[in-house]
Chain A
Amino acid sequence: GESVGLHLPTLSVQEGDNSIINCAYSNSASDYFIWYKQESGKGPQFIIDIRSNMDKRQGQRVTVLLNKTVKHLSLQIAATQPGDSAVYFCAEKGYQKVTFGTGTKLQVIP
């Protein structure tokens, strides 16, 4: 769903460790789920998507997992780097529009 007046949860990770960012979605009818990265002062940037009939998809250093049973989506970032510090949003692609969920701020500790 959409965040309403909440401060973003923060995940702090040591550089080089793996990061796991979680997201609960609401619409079972969504046909794609997407992860976006937003750096400070910039617009969101597409990272990876997964179709609703899949449960795992891998990209470069990132893996998205989809569990439709519990309506859960996760983004795994391998060997986290300082440049990964940003806010990460999950999103759902419905019939016409893309709806963003609550973001998670990832802080990478050097």
Chain B
Amino acid sequence: NAGVMQNPRHLVRRRGQEARLRCSPMKGHSHVYWYRQLPEEGLKFMVYLQKENIIDESGMPKERFSAEFPKEGPSILRIQQVVRGDSAAYFCASSDVNRKATGELFFGEGSRLTVL
């Protein structure tokens, strides 16, 4: 029973390029969350999605960032025209209906973005 799979684990981009981070939730999970973490800091909520719907994007920057969770395939966090301040670890978490109610999330190992 595979856990939450994120790829790539490490991504290096130059300023102005695009970054695409992918997340496959655990089998049977239809709720996906994206968090951002800077070194030695906590996790900052970005977006919560269900299949084909964005439920809460209150933590997403207004520009350059977008997320989707299509009917088929992984969830994608897309960062356009990256800047150095986007360098961080991006974690994806998934949950099923029951565990979502209690806040029990299953996290992937993260994607570490470095912007040169």
Contact = CB atoms under 8 A, between A and B. Distances in A.
B42 A2 contact: yes
Contacts of B109: 41-43
A49 B33 contact: no
Contacts, number: 72
B43 A97 contact: no
A69 interface: no
Interface residues of A, number: 30
A99 B45 contact: yes
Interface stretch (A3-11, A13-21, A58-66, A70-78): A3-11
Contacts of B35: 100
Contact of A8 (B4, B40, B58): B40
A21 B59 CA distance: 27
Interface string A37-56: 00001111110010100000
A97 B45 contact: yes
Contacts of B25: none
A49 B104 contact: yes
A66 to B, nearest CB: 13
A23 to B, nearest CB: 11
B42 A103 contact: yes
Contacts of B91: 43-44
B48 A100 contact: no
Contact of B33 (A34, A41, A98): A98
Contacts of A45: 107
Contacts of A97: 33, 45, 48, 56, 58-59
19 contacts: A3-B42, A4-B41, A6-B41, A33-B103, A34-B102, A42-B109, A43-B4, A43-B91, A43-B109, A46-B104, A49-B103, A49-B104, A89-B43, A92-B103, A93-B102, A97-B33, A98-B33, A103-B41, A103-B42
